[in-house]
Amino acid sequence: MKKIIISLCLITSAIYFPQQAYSVYYTRPNVNIKFVDSNTTAEQYLQKALANEKLGNITGAISDCSDAIRRDSNYVPAYMNRARLYNKNGNFLAASADYGKVLRLEPTNYEALYQRAETYRKTRNDMGAISDYNKLIDKNYRTADAYVGRGLVNYNMKRYSYTLKDLEKALELYPKDSDKYNSTLVLIKQIQENSSIKSTLTGVD
């Protein structure tokens, strides 16, 4: 069981949630931004946020994103980046709220939906996470990753048969010999070979 828990931590942090997933929301950090005034735009505040993040000032970066939102309450990149930074700081409830705001502004922003599902999973909002993963699977967006995410929620809920079913579905979708494919395959084998789990496994209709 200990090996499985360690594998879950390594896989979810290093494989399934790459930083580049957010790149569409990045503007190029301008580390030369030293001050702002009443004419500063939301986009400029976001650049300042990214510069602060690059310098390791996460609190300042979150504040800059908030300034961008105050300048333009419909500016989706500021919400996406603030949510990402909240996640980085461990403020998962605030992150999920920002993703929710994005989804109200852009109901078809499936990256926001995926990231909210991930955040729900971290906070053990299991049913919220499963609901979001189900929508992603229905929309065919990051489908394999969504199956893995849903499988991990099922694992947390000790629904191991459903975990295996979801992971095996993800395995069908990932390119063979990719890091995600190999990591998922290892995880499936560890679950199947764990004696305390094996006795609970039942068929899934």
**What pLDDT is recorded for position 25?**
42
pLDDT at 12 over 80: no
DSSP string across 168-184: HHHHHHSPTTSHHHHHH
pLDDT in tens, 64-108: 999 999 999 999 999 999 999 999 999 999 999 999 999 999 999
Give the chain's mean pLDDT: 85
Q: How confident is the model at residue 32 (pLDDT cuts 50, 70, 90)?
A: very low
The answer to whether the CB of 203 falls within 8 A of the CB of 39 is: no
Q: How confident is the model at residue 196 (pLDDT cuts 50, 70, 90)?
A: confident
Which structure tokens are listed for 87? 């996640």
* CA dist list (Å): 41 to 45, 52, 164: 6, 17, 48
Q: How confident is the model at residue 50 (pLDDT cuts 50, 70, 90)?
A: very high
* CA dist list (Å): 69 to 23, 72, 77, 98, 134: 19, 5, 9, 11, 30
pLDDT in tens, 103-155: 999 999 999 999 999 999 999 999 999 999 999 999 999 999 999 999 999 99
**What pLDDT is recorded for position 202?**
54
Supply the DSSP symbol for 175. P
